[in-house]
Structure 1
């Protein structure tokens, strides 16, 4: 098979497209003919050699990627034969191997793809969609809600805009540049503003006519988060799920005591509850997409151009979820 391999930590150019051995499914596993592989901002930090949340250091050489969608083409011992030939999507967990034509994972990680979704949409929902479903647990949105969403043109931001509008909320989407704000506006936001224009908070206040924000969904941090929190009323909530604007591996979130709540990782899982909370969130995300309530924005790159995809993601040159297609 062909795959993207990383032999040395460093810049995006260290990702190389090459031929390697086909993976073999072990007991309880399946092999997927990959049609779409998700690219996450965390992948860029791991590529540089930063540990991130992984329990073990990355061992080189490696095939990056932890989100795949495709067709089951081979079964390991003990796997139900009904899976063979099914269109599936899976989050590989801490195991890498997604940036490839073939990937192996445990059968209990599989979800059958609803017929209404293509492979790229499904892979967007299994990772980005899962996170979005985890985030919205922390805000009871309704017609009285005024929601501010930084990075609203991104993969998560796009879904948060749609979810908030479906709940009847007034939605303010922030994005960098006119092309991205146009996408946010087309995605349903009541107001889309360019956060590279220093006057953006004034524009938001003018649009709201003195009405304060009630929720900020913040995955950016820094000055954008600070200005967004300043729009909140005294009982508002600052829900923090990242700080990409500060650097994923060495940045810090902007937090205000009594207002801010970090919801990543175990906090999100505990809120979902049940014996398999992340799977619960995955199921919710896929169901929302299958019903047409959430439509992920996807930016596609050929698998061989993974380095270009990483570079675009790192320089904020992407909109929606970045997906590699073999």
Structure 2
């Protein structure tokens, strides 16, 4: 099979498209013929040699990638025969191996893909979708709410905008550049603003006409977060789940005592009833048409280009590799 392998930590060009041995499923595992593999900003950090949340250092050479969707084409000993031939999606956890034509994972990580979703959409929901729904647990949304979403053209931002609109909330979406703001507007935001324009806070205030922002969904950090928090009214909340403006080597984003709350980690999982519960909810929301992930597709062989696009913040939606 062909896969993307990393032999040395460093720039995106170190991701090489190579022919490697087919993986063999162990007992209780399946082998999936991959139709789509998710790419995450964390993957770029691991590529550079940063530890991230993984329990053990990355061992080289490695095949990156932790989200796959495709068709089960082989079973390990003891794996139920009923999985064979099914369209499935799985988050591999901390095990690498997703950027490949074939990937192995435990059968208990699998979800059957709903009939009306393709593999790329399923990959978007198994990782990005579950995170978005986990974040939304901490927000009180409804017709009286005003939600501000920085990075609203990204994978998580797209879903946050859609969900907030579904509740009747007023939604302001921020994005970098005119192409992205057009996408955010098309996605349902009441107002889409380019955060590269220094006057963007004034445009938001003018649009709201005296109403204050009630919740900021912040995966960006930096100057955008500082300005966004300044738009919050009394009792408003700043939900922090990333700081992409700081880069993969950056530290925690902008925090204000009594206003900001970090919503990733054990608190999110405890509130949701675990990762699998979030994954099931995410797939169900997409299958019902209430959430529609935006996907930007790259051929598997162009994984380096996908990483560069993510790092340069030129992508729209969830980045997916297709063998």
Normalised TM-score (structure 2): 0.99
Alignment match of 2:315 (pick from 303, 315, 318): 318
With 278-287 and 243-252 compared, the bigger mean Cα shift is at 243-252
- 2-side partners of 1:119 and 1:126: how far apart? 11
Equivalent position SS for 1:171: strand
Aligned runs of 1:99-114 on 2, under 5 Å? Answer: 99-114=99-114
What residue is the counterpart of 2:165 in the other structure? 165
**What is the alpha-carbon distance in structure 1 between the residues aligned to residue 248 and residue 14 of structure 2?**
19
The equivalent residue for 1:220 is 220
What is the RMSD of the two structures over their aligned residues, measured on CA atoms? 0.6
Displacement of 1:161: 0.2
Q: Tell me which residue corresponds to 2:129.
A: 129
Give the structure 1 partner of residue 70 of structure 2.
Answer: 70
Which stretch shifts more, 300-309 or 248-257?
Answer: 248-257
The answer as to whether partners of 1:219 and 1:240 remain within 8 angstroms in 2 is: yes
Give the equivalent residue in structure 2 for 1:282. 279
Q: Match for residue 18 of structure 1?
A: 18
* 1:182-211 deviations in Å (ceiling 9; x for gaps): 000000000000000000000000000010
Pairing 1:205–2:202 present: no
Within the alignment, does 1:58 sit opposite 2:58 as a pair? yes
Give the structure 1 partner of residue 304 of structure 2.
307
C-alpha distance in 2, partners of 1:291/1:17?
Answer: 37
Q: What is the number of residues matched between the two proteins?
A: 323
What SS class does the counterpart of residue 314 from structure 2 fall into?
Answer: coil
Quick one: distance in 2 between partners of 1:108 and 1:248?
A: 31
Q: Secondary structure at the match of 2:159?
A: helix
Displacement of 1:233 after TM fit?
0.7
Give the drift of 1:249.
Answer: 2.9
Contact 2:3/2:19 (<8 A) preserved: yes
TM-score (norm 1): 0.98
* Native 8 Å contact 1:161 1:173 kept in 2: yes
Unaligned runs of 5+ in 1: none
State the SS of the aligned residue for 1:312. Answer: helix
Structure 2 distance, partners of 1:265, 1:92, is 17
State the 1:232 CA deviation.
Answer: 0.5
How far has the Cα of 1:251 moved from its partner?
2.2
Shift of 1:220: 0.2
Contact 2:243 2:250 in 1 (8 A): no
Name the residue aligned to 1:231.
231
Offset, 1:268: 1.2
